[in-house]
Structure 1
Amino acid sequence: MGCFKIPDSLCDDLKSMIRNFWWGQKSVEKKIPWVSWENMCEPKAGGGLGFKNLKCFNLALLAKQGWRLHFAQDSLAFRVLKAKYFLRCNFVQASLGKNPSYTWRSIMAAQDLVKEGIMWRVGNGRDVKVWGDRWLPGSSSHGVISPRLFLHRDTRVGELIDTEVMCWKSSVVDSIFLPHEAEAIKSIPLSVRAPPDKLV
């Protein structure tokens, strides 16, 4: 499951076998399922029993492989797949390509999941675009929704930081962003060492 996308039909068969075992089905005799499968898949802390949703679990493991292809660039798997499928870009920008292997199709099935979860951790702000990149904590999209009034499209987060003392330019932030976004931005801690920005 960590390397290949399991067919949905197989996941459904496995789910059916688990349900039948749990509810005590014997041969053709069926027992009453007192709780829906969706509720049983909820975490124990949320009132469920913590069963795995196999399709989602499979995609999560494949997304982990995609994440490794994006960052662990010294592995043999990365070098082979990059040379064949995404020579001139990174994994997040890659396309399925022509005549892909089952392994590549499986990993690409989780590409959207990687894109959905990836965001920037602000260091010095030089690599992060204010508009377009995902870097804002506390919002569901992690992107800025404030209107872009007078700054250019490629404005970097570093332009909002006073690099001499490594703190936010509060007056600039307050004048550009909606109040709740300005507060979220000013709550992002900055290091005096000004490390590079990092994708997490």
Structure 2
Amino acid sequence: MSIFLLPKTLYKAINSDLANFWWGYTDTKSKIHWNAWPKLCEAKSKGGIGFREFNTFNKALLAKQCWRILKNPNALWVKVLKGRYFPNSSFLSAKNGRRPSWGWNSLIAGRDTISNHAFWQINNGRLIDV
């Protein structure tokens, strides 16, 4: 899950299996659903049980890999990716390219998660180039 963006059908199947296990589903009958699945996936502090929504969890793991790309640009695997997918630009502005691999498409999804939720923190201002 930390390398590839999994298909939506797989997320639904995993969430369905978890819900069936939690609610005590059998082939002949199903038990009462005491609460909706999205409510069970909420944090414990918000009244839920804290189950993971696998779609969100997968994107968070991909975003973690993208963060590693940004923080360790001299790592060998990052240099390989840079040479193949973004030789003349930064990772944050890289395009998909002509024939991207499934892994690269997955990293782009993780990068989009970072760019949608990241913000600048000024701190003492020494690293800001004005």
Structure 1 length-normalised TM: 0.61
Partners of 1:120 and 1:197 within 8 A in 2? no
Shift of 1:78: 0.5
CA contact under 8 A between 1:42 and 1:51: conserved in structure 2?
yes
Determine the C-alpha separation between the residues in 2 that align with 1:195 and 1:40: 44
1:83-112: per-residue Cα shift (whole Å, max 9, x none)?
Answer: 000111111101111111111011111222
Alignment of 1:44-123 (within 5 A): 44-122=44-122
Deviation per CA, 1:112-168: give whole Å up to 9, x if none: 211122222225xxxxxxxxxxxxxxxxxxxxxxxxxxxxxxxxxxxxxxxxxxxxx
Root mean square deviation, CA, Å: 1.6
Is 2:127 the partner of 1:196?
Answer: yes
Give the Cα–Cα distance (whole angstroms) in 2 for the partners of residues 78 and 68 of structure 1.
Answer: 9
Q: Which amino acid aligns with 2:128?
A: D
Structure 1 residues 29-79: Cα deviation after superposition (integer angstroms, max 9, x where no partner): 111211001100000011000000100110111011112112211212101
SS in 1 for 2:84: helix
Within a 5 Å distance, the mapping from 1:1-200 to structure 2 comes to 1-122=1-122, 190=124, 195-197=126-128
Detail structure 1 runs of 4+ shifted over 3 Å in the superposition. Answer: none
Structure 2: tracts of 5 or more residues without a match: none
> Identity percentage over the alignment?
36
TM-score, structure 2 normalization: 0.91
Instruction: For 1:76 and 1:29, locate their aligned partners in 2 and report how far apart those are by CA, in whole Å.
Output: 54
Q: Please tell me whether Structure 1 or Structure 2 has the larger radius of gyration of its CA atoms.
A: 1
Paired residue total: 129
Segments of 5+ residues of structure 1 without an aligned counterpart are: 124-189
Q: Which has the higher helix share?
A: 2
Q: Higher relative contact order by CA 8 Å / sep ≥ 6: 1 or 2?
A: 2
